[in-house]
Structure formats: C-alpha cells, structure tokens
Amino acid sequence: MYKINDVTYEQIFEYIDEFNKKENKIIDELRVFAEQNNIPIIKKDVENFLKTYLNITKPKKILELGCAIGYSSIFMSSVLNDDVHIDTLEINENMYNIASENIKKFSLTNINVILGNASDIIPSLDQKYDFVFIDASKSHYDEFFSLILNKLKKNAVVICDNTLFKGYLCMDRSGIPKRQKTIYDKMTRFLENIKKNKDISYNMLPLGDGLLVIYFK
Ligand SMILES: C[S@@+](CC[C@H](N)C(=O)[O-])C[C@H]1O[C@@H](n2cnc3c(N)ncnc32)[C@H](O)[C@@H]1O
C-alpha cells in the first residue's frame, strides 16, 4: 500500500476529494443516478484533473468517444460555462436515449450526442477538435486513435481513460483471467504503439483506472 507517513492512499484521496468539492446540483444528481444504476462514469480524480486541464486550455471543440448517460460531457460543458461544442458518440441506444434526455433536461444545445459505433462515425465527422476524450470500448483504443488523427487541430490533446484496465496492465499476462485476456492484449498493443510513435509525447497518470494524456510534438 502506497503511504505517506501513516496516511493511506484512500485517506489522501478522500481528503483531496472533500477539498475540491464544489456543489453542482446537475452533476451531483447524475453521478448518483450512474452509481445507483451501475453505469461506469469518470472517477472523481479524473474529473478533478479534467476540470484543471479544461480550465487551463479552454478547448472550443471536444470529441468524446463513449457518452453513456452524458455525465462527462455535461460535466466538461459546465466547466467551460457551455462555451464549447461537444460531439459525443455512444453505441448503446438505451444510453443514447438517457444522455439525450439529460442534455435536454438541462437545456444544453452545445452537446451533440451521436448514436452508433465510434469506428463507423469518426470517419464521417467533418469537424476538427482541440481535445478528444476516449472512454469507450477498451479493446478498440488503437483503432480509435488511428481514426481520430486526421480530426485533430494543431496542438490537440487526446486523453484516454482506463488504460490500466483494472490494474491488469501492471500484471504479467499469465495472471490475467481468461475472459480479460483479449482486452489486456489489445490495450498492451495500443500502449506499445503509443511508445513507438515518434510524433507524440505522452504521460500515463495514476488517476482513475489509468489516464493516458497524449499530445503532439
Ligand atoms: C465508461 S462509459 C462512458 C462514460 C462517460 N464518458 C462518462 O464518464 O460519463 C463507456 C461507454 O462507451 C460506450 N461504447 C463502447 N464501445 C463503443 C463504441 N465502439 N462506439 C461508441 N460508444 C461505445 C458504451 O456503451 C458505454 O456507454
């Protein structure tokens, strides 16, 4: 267990979370809904990082892969006082419907939820983005990353969530449960390709389930 003095990482995490807490009724309600319905959304520490990142960089066009109920896109919009356009892609029709309802409920006209497989939709997008947040099927990150390359503005940043895949990426392949091996292999290949790519710089941060930040040289 990672410790500073006699304080555990959990205590540090709770303290930071409490310190950073700002009441935001919309966001708080959505997080409770997601938790009650077992819908995976960005972890609090990822949220805090994104808030800092967005406040510093103030992107005008964001592409998100993996919308779920719209939590992260509504959150990102609120950080930027809705002065941003967000295209967010979702493959699951039920999630798409809930996200669309949430976005309508909060009268947000700057968030465009698109139903379909990101692999099919990305090539048809006619925008260029300052920031891409990848938070969809973990076995397709390599493909998603290749597809978004010609959709990026100069100096764009790409952030990928869950790149440690429940911590499995830190383990030897022999210890990975059989049903998780495919994602493990595909995420490993994606990270190896990132390391080999001479056009980018990157940093994996110990936030959420591993947050990979990629920027272009
Ligand atoms: C972790 S959730 C996204 C959470 C959301 N970003 C948030 O934090 O509020 C991942 C979502 O990606 C969607 N998804 C998975 N594969 C996809 C694909 N190929 N194209 C579009 N959406 C996909 C899933 O249906 C799921 O709703």
Query: How far separated are the first and last CA of the chain, in Å rounded?
Result: 36
Q: Does residue 81 lie in a domain region? A: yes
**Residue 185 predicted with pLDDT over 80:** yes
72 lines ligand 1 (CB under 6 A): yes
Domain region containing 55: 42-216
Any ligand 1 atom below 6 A from CB of 68: yes
* Ligand 1 pocket check for 120: Cβ under 6 Å: no
pLDDT tens figures, 37-54:
999 999 999 999 999 999
Report pLDDT digits (tens) over 118-158: 999 999 999 999 999 999 999 999 999 999 999 999 999 99
Other residues' Cβ atoms within 10 Å of the Cβ of residue 39 = 15
46 part of a folded domain? yes
Please count the structural domains in the chain: 1
- The β-bridge relationship of strands 211-216 and 152-160 is antiparallel
- Asked, for residue 21, whether it belongs to a domain, the answer is no
* Residue 80 domain flag: yes
With bands split at pLDDT 50, 70 and 90, how would you rate the model's confidence at 209? very high
Ligand 1 lined by 176 (C-beta under 6 Å)? no
Could you tell me if residue 66 is left (phi over 0), alpha (psi between -120 and 50 degrees) or otherwise beta? left
- Helix, strand, coil % over all residues of the chain, rounded to 5: 50, 20, 30
Residue 25 lies in a domain: no
Q: Is residue 109 part of a domain?
A: yes
Mutational test site, ligand 1, from 67, 72, 86, 95, max ligand atoms within 8 Å of CB: 67
208 Cβ inside 6 Å of ligand 1 = no
Evaluate whether 98 touches 70 at the Cβ level (below 8 Å): yes
Q: Is residue 201 part of a domain?
A: yes
Q: Mark the binding-site residues for S-adenosyl-L-methionine, compressed into ranges.
A: 42, 72, 90, 135
CATH number at 184 reads 3.40.50.150
Taking the CA atoms of 58, 212, 191 and 42 in sequence, report the sign of the dihedral they define: negative
